[in-house]
Structure 1
Amino acid sequence: MKFYPVQFEPIFKQRIWGGEKLKTLLHKPITSNSTGESWELSAVEGDVSVVSRGEWKGKSLTALIDQWPNEILGTAVHDRFGKQFPLLFKYLDAREDLSIQVHPNDALAKKRHHSFGKTEMWYVVQADRDARIIVGFKEDSNATHYLENLKNKTLLSILDTVKVKSGDAFFLETGTVHAIGAGLVVAEIQQTSDITYRIYDFDRVDAHGKTRELHVDLALDAINYNKVETKKEYTKNTNESNVIVDCPYFTTNIIPLDGAISISKSGESFTVYMCVEGSFEIECNDSKLHYIKGDTVLIPAAMNSFILNGKASILEIYIS
């Protein structure tokens, strides 16, 4: 069996805060002006990715894993997670501010939702002038102080706001209160989980005049009330894998590609590439597959060697 780089049909999510940049910037075939998310690679129940081209076109990610668990996931990932695909990959377009929210850790998510927790990271693909994010508290806080400010609608006064630009990266451990601000397109890598506790939504209403559900009580014991450092500094050496985040759930590198480089893999983990700028080819099995900005591709663990060739900025994600 010859394994090859696998691309999937994006799964689009309409959001009250979404826009059109997934089409204009990342070439996604969206048809609305309020598309907030493109789920690039997902095994979330009800939103499982389907192969878009090649021999396996029309097959689901879970079907591939079920048939070839070690070859798709990798031996170490299969040993650790069974046949579960442990990560979720997205692009987000925030025309407006997202809600202020928090994600539970593994223990709390398993107890309440029979799910993984949601450790995640953001890589800023594009940022409008003065765009910002909310990440954690300005100073160490506590539940009482937090609830008082939430009640008085002064929550923003105690949360940390950070101006961002293209290429910035942030690592959000579970428990970190956060929100992506208006004017940002972000690549998001996270554990396979769709558990979000929304704690404040700026009193917005939808087209029917209804506010979105909040999860204030559920969030209380999920929140880390201490000040946290989330921004990741990293090198950008050309034609090398430069580490941005290395955590128990995933490793994310950036490859500033200019020309051709040979890649060798051990077979212990799958690899995912997200093209965040430019274009490139993967040369393998006597063929060349082309990818452009906004594309996401899964490299099965059984693909031990191949060549990346082009001029691009590529996020490289795997589990170590």
Structure 2
Amino acid sequence: MNLYPLKFRPILKERLWGGTKLKDVLSKEITSDITGESWELSAVPGDVSVVMNGELAGTSLQELINSRSEELLGKSVVQRFGKEFPILIKFIDAKQDLSIQLHPNNQLAKERHNSLGKTEMWYIMDADKDANLIIGFNKDVTKEEYANSLEKDTLLDLLNYEQVKEGDTFFINTGKIHAIGAGVLLAEIQQTSDITYRVFDFNRKDKAGNPRELHTDMALDAIDYDKKDDFKIAYSKAVNTIGQMVDCPYFKTNYIDLTKDLEQDVSQRDSFTIYMCIGGAVSIENDFGSASIQKGETLLVSANSNRIHLKTTRAKLLEVTI
């Protein structure tokens, strides 16, 4: 069976801090008022995406990888990651502030959790007036200063706040302390990992009335304490071209703003291609078929495609490869 462009059923996650923008802005079919995440493409155990279009409907992403790994992922991707899907794709709606957190690097994640680290990027889809993100520290901080701020409940005074608007894009290295602020809807592209060290949660309680678990001790050796201003991404927004946003060891992301069709020769790419539609609508065709997505939807094109034809009169896309 040919690997036509594949759409997957979103995996919706209720979160204490979630809201309704996944429905109101991205047209997701949600009934809860605290839906915080839509996992668009995932092979995380227990949360594996399932195909929803065409003859392969009902087949899980992991089943496809197990049976057709090189066709789907690409030879070079299989050589690096085996039969593990290396990317996790989400839309996130923060009605309230998320916890202040960070993610360990590959080495720590492997030693402690037998997992990959979690390098990630964010594209702001929608932001309320004065909405912000926390990214890193506002000065160089020592481990002792940081630990002391937790004891004295003054951590917020050490953090860097970034006011955001639609289109702003950020790259979050492992070890960088961060949080998504209230009123932000974003697209997230990350390594396949669900390892998070939560260090402060505004003293909130979970549904059962218990304080949420913190990981302050584990975080001490995982944090990057230096002030760095390398997280905001500048990229070309020129229409009908492909603008590079991120090129890191774990994924590559391009910005594509189209007012007409675009055809790409991808015969030498040797990687799957993910499209997240962040505006408008587009029909995506490869050698084996086609499928359409609109704002808030995601699609996977197999690595054995020689060409990808994007057909639209207006669409904005994030294009993700390895």
Please tell me the TM-score bracket, short chain as reference.
over 0.9
**Contact 1:100/1:179 (8 A) holds in 2:** yes
CA distance in 2, matches of 1:18, 1:32: 9
Residues 1:302 and 2:304 aligned together: yes
CA distance in 2, matches of 1:267, 1:120: 22
CA distance in 1, matches of 2:165, 2:232: 12
Show CA shifts across 1:211-231 (max 9, x none): 110000010000000012210
Q: Who is 1:219 aligned against?
A: 219
CA distance in 2, matches of 1:307, 1:208: 50
Q: 1:258 to 1:146 in 2, by over 3 A?
A: same
Aligned partner letter, 1:296: T
Q: 1:130 deviation in Å?
A: 0.4
Q: List aligned pairs for 1:266-281, cutoff 5 A.
A: 266-281=268-283
Show CA shifts across 1:246-303 (max 9, x none): 1000011100011101012125100100001111111345854221100000111011
CA distance in 1, matches of 2:287, 2:217: 53
CA distance in 2, matches of 1:271, 1:11: 20
Q: 1:54 to 1:289 in 2, by over 3 A?
A: same
Aligned partner letter, 2:298: T
**Contact 1:99/1:201 (8 A) holds in 2:** yes
CA distance in 2, matches of 1:122, 1:153: 28
CA RMSD of aligned residues (A): 1.1
Q: Who is 1:183 aligned against?
A: 183
Residues 1:317 and 2:320 aligned together: yes
Q: 1:210 deviation in Å?
A: 1.3
CA distance in 2, matches of 1:123, 1:45: 25
Structure 1 spans left out of the alignment, 5+ residues: none
**Contact 1:125/1:167 (8 A) holds in 2:** yes
**What SS is found at the alignment partner of 2:261?**
strand
Aligned partner letter, 2:280: G
Show CA shifts across 1:117-171 (max 9, x none): 0000000011111000000000111110011111111111111001000000000
TM-score w.r.t. the length of structure 2 is 0.97
Q: Who is 2:6 aligned against?
A: 6
Ranges of 4+ aligned residues in structure 1 off by more than 4 Å: 285-288
Q: What is the number of residues matched between the two proteins?
A: 319
Structure 2 spans left out of the alignment, 5+ residues: none
Q: Who is 1:55 aligned against?
A: 55
CA distance in 2, matches of 1:216, 1:209: 21
CA distance in 2, matches of 1:90, 1:221: 27
Q: Who is 1:199 aligned against?
A: 199
CA distance in 2, matches of 1:284, 1:105: 35
CA distance in 2, matches of 1:209, 1:10: 29
Residues 1:233 and 2:255 aligned together: no
Q: What is the percentage of aligned positions where both structures have the same residue? A: 53
Q: 1:286 to 1:85 in 2, by over 3 A?
A: closer
Q: 1:293 aligns with which of 289, 292, 295?
A: 295
**Contact 1:75/1:267 (8 A) holds in 2:** no
- Which stretch of structure 1 is more off in the superposition, 162-171 or 277-286? 277-286
